[in-house]
């Protein structure tokens, strides 16, 4: 079985660091952070854990900035979302789950072009 390594993009790392810094003071941030940590472990156990996003719906910024050809969505606590793509690792016995974004629902709606009703 291939090892799965989870790596955070710069944007995802920034969100994760912010949540980590504020988790001791905020129950909301702590619940989101715990949700991220739980989902990362689930992705390590099953890289296809997240819901696949149709290729036609992958935001252009992910394609241009990261060369994304597949995208998965994971729902987090408090309506946050985490997006990741799978790539081959440096060796033939490794899969890399590259977390592109950790965003709240409002940013998710904007990024994927959903309009508020």
DSSP 107: H
CATH class of 3-111: alpha beta
Residue 96 main-chain phi, psi, to 5 deg: -110, 125
Map out the domains of the chain as residue ranges.
3-111
Please tell me whether residue 117 adopts helix, strand or coil conformation.
Answer: coil
Spell out the per-residue pLDDT of the chain, length 117, in tens: 789 999 999 999 999 999 999 999 999 999 999 999 999 999 999 999 999 999 999 999 999 999 999 999 999 999 999 999 999 877 778 899 999 999 999 999 999 988 876
Report how far residue 107's alpha carbon sits from residue 52's, in angstroms, rounded to the nearest whole number.
19
The H or E element containing residue 105 is helix 105-111
Pairing of strands 3-8, 81-88: unpaired
**Global pTM value:** 0.94
Cβ–Cβ under 8 Å, residues 32 and 76:
yes
């Amino acid at each position: 079985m291939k090892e799965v390594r989870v790596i955070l993009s710069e944007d995802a790392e920034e969100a994760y660091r912010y949540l980590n810094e504020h988790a001791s003071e905020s129950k909301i941030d702590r619940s989101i952070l715990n949700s991220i940590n739980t989902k990362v472990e689930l992705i390590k156990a099953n890289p296809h854990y997240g819901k696949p996003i149709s290729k036609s719906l992958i935001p252009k910024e992910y394609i241009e900035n990261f060369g994304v050809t597949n995208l998965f969505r994971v729902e987090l606590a408090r309506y946050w979302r985490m997006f990741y793509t799978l790539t081959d690792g440096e060796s033939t016995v490794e899969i890399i789950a590259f977390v592109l974004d950790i965003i709240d629902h409002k940013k998710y709606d904007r990024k994927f072009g959903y309009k508020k009703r």
